[in-house]
Amino acid sequence: MRGPHNIWRLIRTGATFQRTGAMGVVLDAMKAPPSVRVAAHVVGWPFAWLGKKGDPTLPPVTRAITALGPAYIKFGQILSTRPDVVGPELADQLQYLQDKLPPFDQAIARRMIEKELGIDIDQVFSEFSEPVAAASIAQVHKARLAETGESVAVKVLRPGIERAFRTDIDAFHFSARVIEMLLPSTRRLRPTDVVEHFETTVMGELDLRLESASASEFAENTAKDEGFVVPEVNWGLSGRTVMTLGWGEGIPANDLETIRASGLDMHRLGERVLQLFLSHALRDGLFHGDMHQGNLKFAANGDIIAVDFGIMGRIDEYTRRVYAEILYGFITRNYRRVAEVHFEAGYVPADRDVEEFARALRAVGEPIFGMNATQISMGRLLAYLFEVTEKFGMETRTELILLQRTMVVVEGVARSLSPDINIWKVAKPVVESYISNSIGPKALLQDLVLTARVLARFGPRLPELAEAALIRQSEAHVENDRARPLRAMSYVAVGGGLALAAVWVSTLL
């Protein structure tokens, strides 16, 4: 599927933007120079008739994206949270993509639910509404359980969505390979790996059993987070194409006028959204990876209700510590430490100069801290960092793509609620708390205890491991280095002593 025939898809993408009038809107939003505008129109105009027409009742960009397919819609959802990047007018148009896409027929949804769950809907639900929200992958119906009277949200995948997504992602793969071939300088950014990561993430959304599991785990992790609610999964009414959750009653986060009229403290809500995201990422290593306005609600008492758990991010403990130290270094303006962390983690090639890298980071950070709160932006920081990473030969870290992307999205949500929010000031207590618990003496003791327990598990296998090591050493070096097996025996002896000590320590813990 990932062949040259994808050229046609790329041509049609550009043609669709030209035909719908979206090309001009995008160029205006990105403040493209006149030469680029002229070139885009001269090249695009002859092919405009090849583009998809889309829904003429929608604004140009929204019209083009919805016509192109679900993967483009997912990208548009991300941009909808960044008025500082695409401009307030375009961001407002793109908010349509979050949960207001055209739904599919309720009768189709009912048949899919009955087939997936093996139930009679009229017997299980006393009420089953028309779609209340429709996004790129699925739509949601509000229903009431006949047995208990509880209100629930029933999520149903769009029919044929998996095939449609694979078609779009196929074109992305082709584009990535062409970019790497024509622009060798982009290879350090690993565009092919980035698309691979995007595919893995999005395809996980197409099995609602996995989303149910993520929602359940996320609810357990955040159960003690005051003012944060994750609806409970109804496992008996969930399957591969259907998921049923408790209904979260609240004001959608993209309905800013209603939020203002409700009397809720919008500045505090913005702070909480940002702090909760950082807390989940650093404390738990599991965070909501699609935290745009369409997936958040605010209850009358100010609780933040999260929905849609198809994209969840995971980062291991070591990466969390690295990320926290980098953030904290920027917050405290300790650029030397930020540079050292990059080298320690292997993010920067070892042959580069740490002092030079620290100076480059200072050039990134200081202008930002000289700005007022409305100008301080994670998006701006990432843009500056991109320039630095290119200079120092850093490769794209695919394990951090979702974290960085979601950070930008969450910042956009926070700014929509409170435009003058200072993200660094808000983030500081969360990052400080994590560092004090994870990078100090207490963390060192916890790491030693964990290491002891892991070593203890190898105790019964120690003789076997020692014998295998001796055999390998003797076979490889008996002819030309008779001393090495003796050294191997000494290593095994030391290892055996450590393992025995670990067994003893573990019995005391």
pLDDT at 129 over 90: yes
Confidence of residue 495 (pLDDT cuts 50, 70, 90): very low
User: What residues are annotated to the active site?
Assistant: 290
Residue type, 385: L
Angle between helices 317-332 and 398-417 (to 10 degrees): 50
Closest CA to 74 of 63, 82, 86, 66: 66
Higher pLDDT, 442 or 277: 277
pLDDT at 318: 86
pLDDT at 500 over 50: no
d(CA 204, CA 165): 12
Phi, psi at residue 142, to the nearest 5°? -90, 135
Please state, rounded to an integer, the average pLDDT across all residues of the chain.
Answer: 79
The two tokens of residue 145 are: 């359980």
pLDDT, mean of residues 54-59: 84
Pairing of strands 242-246, 138-145: unpaired
pLDDT at 402: 74
Higher pLDDT, 42 or 365: 365
Residue type, 325: E
The two tokens of residue 234 are: 């109804």
Do 337 and 361 touch, CB atoms closer than 8 A? no
User: How many helical (H) and strand (E) elements, i.e. helices and strands, does the chain have?
Assistant: 24, 10
Do 462 and 496 touch, CB atoms closer than 8 A? yes
Do 307 and 139 touch, CB atoms closer than 8 A? no
pLDDT at 221 over 90: yes
pLDDT at 256 over 80: yes
**Which helix (H) or strand (E) covers residue 369, if one does?**
helix 354-369
Confidence of residue 498 (pLDDT cuts 50, 70, 90): very low
CB within 8 A of 335, min separation 6: which ones? 329, 358, 359, 361, 362, 365
**Which helix (H) or strand (E) covers residue 202, if one does?**
helix 191-203
pLDDT at 359: 92
pLDDT at 454: 65
d(CA 439, CA 62): 46
**Which helix (H) or strand (E) covers residue 304, if one does?**
strand 304-306
Among the residue ranges 127-131, 166-170, 339-343, the one predicted with the least confidence is: 166-170
pLDDT at 100 over 80: no
Confidence of residue 504 (pLDDT cuts 50, 70, 90): very low
pLDDT, mean of residues 176-187: 70
The two tokens of residue 329 are: 């270094």
Q: Please report where in the chains the tokens 């969450």 appear, as a residue.
A: 410
SS (HEC) of 150-192: CEEEEEEECCCHHHHHHHHHHHHHHHHHHHHHHCHHHHHHCHH
pLDDT in tens, 412-460: 899 899 988 888 788 888 888 888 777 666 666 766 766 776 667 666 7
Longest dimension (CA), the chain: 85
Q: What percent of the chain has pLDDT over 90?
A: 30
pLDDT at 194: 67
pLDDT, mean of residues 230-247: 96
pLDDT in tens, 297-330: 999 999 999 999 988 888 888 888 888 888 888 8
Higher pLDDT, 388 or 87: 388
Provide the β-strand partners of residue 145. 125
**In the Cβ-directed half-sphere of 320, how many Cα atoms lie within 13 Å?**
23
- Tell me which DSSP letter residue 402 carries: H
Among the residue ranges 247-256, 302-311, 343-352, the one predicted with the least confidence is: 343-352
Q: Which of 73-82, 143-152, 327-336 has the highest mean pLDDT?
A: 143-152
pLDDT at 488: 39
Do 103 and 134 touch, CB atoms closer than 8 A? yes
What is the SS3 assignment for 242? Answer: strand
pLDDT, mean of residues 230-241: 95
Tell me how many degrees the CA angle 424-428-434 measures, rounded to the nearest 5.
140
Confidence of residue 262 (pLDDT cuts 50, 70, 90): very high
Higher pLDDT, 268 or 101: 268
pLDDT at 86: 65
Q: Which of 65-74, 110-119, 167-176 has the highest mean pLDDT?
A: 110-119
Confidence of residue 236 (pLDDT cuts 50, 70, 90): very high
pLDDT at 13: 79
Tell me how many degrees the CA angle 75-76-78 measures, rounded to the nearest 5.
70
Higher pLDDT, 212 or 28: 212
Do 108 and 157 touch, CB atoms closer than 8 A? no
Long-range contacts at 478-484 (CB < 8 A, ≥ 24 apart): none
Residue 399 CB coordination number (10 Å): 13
Closest CA to 236 of 152, 132, 317: 152
Do 251 and 259 touch, CB atoms closer than 8 A? yes
Confidence of residue 509 (pLDDT cuts 50, 70, 90): very low
Q: Which of 128-137, 368-377, 430-439, 466-475 has the highest mean pLDDT?
A: 128-137
Higher pLDDT, 48 or 2: 48
**Which helix (H) or strand (E) covers residue 252, if one does?**
strand 251-252
Among the residue ranges 252-256, 295-299, 471-475, 489-493, the one predicted with the least confidence is: 489-493
Higher pLDDT, 380 or 275: 275
pLDDT, mean of residues 100-128: 92
pLDDT at 242 over 50: yes
Do 129 and 141 touch, CB atoms closer than 8 A? yes
Higher pLDDT, 478 or 152: 152
Closest CA to 116 of 246, 247, 243: 243
Among the residue ranges 4-13, 209-218, 373-382, 495-504, the one predicted with the least confidence is: 495-504
pLDDT at 105: 93
